[in-house]
Structure 1
Amino acid sequence: MKKQLMTVLFGSVLVLGACGGGEETSPEEPADTGGDTETETTTVDAEAVIQQNCISCHGENLEGQGNFPALNDVGSRLSQEEILSVIENGQGAMPPNIIEGEEAQAVAEYLANQQ
């Protein structure tokens, strides 16, 4: 009985040992084709940025609340450049640079089209 148990255990160790322990392989990098390289383009989801950064003060539908003005029609009052300036420099209770870079550009463009 002991001999059979030892045989089963030894066989299990061999089988399980053979299954694991392989080297991790990393995916190969694509070969350089020598042609033109395309630049990566990132698209900013302006609506998602607004949901994350603006609705807490300007309201869920950007309708404005309290001392915070409505943004759902801001494009009828301000140009894209003026909206970007407010985002970058702040105005009233709004601090500067809540949104920066490409996100600020995308949000300004989006809001400029809200009329």
Structure 2
Amino acid sequence: MRTGDIVLHRPSGEEWLVAWADHQSGYMAPCGWPTCEAKIADCTIVREADDNDSDKLVDELSRSGRSDAHRAAAAPLSRRGRMSRAWLYALLIALLYVGLFGNLVGIVPDPAGILLVLPAVIVFGAEAIRK
């Protein structure tokens, strides 16, 4: 759940547009007035926002003067962005490993060594994306 998603708040039976979702605290807030918070566990995603819609709503909330708009901006802005960071971290780990191994041995890393590290990078990247 993230900014821009449409959720069904089961206790009220209402569909809400998500202003922000804080997965660490377990709470989210819908757009609208008066502002309120609800447990993420009480909501079911009806429609996921795409990256452009989510980013656009974050911008609109920041201009709205809403007192908790900073929470939308602080949340990850896009699924694509989280994926990119996860894969970047995995790639950096692989490059670090290959670079350190090459420096310790004093030779250019063997392509077979890179292929040995690649499955671990893929598994790590996939795990990081799921979180």
TM-score interval, normalised by the smaller of the two chains: under 0.3
Structure 2 length-normalised TM = 0.25
**Larger RCO, structure (CA 8 Å, separation 6 or more):** 1
Structure 1 length-normalised TM = 0.27
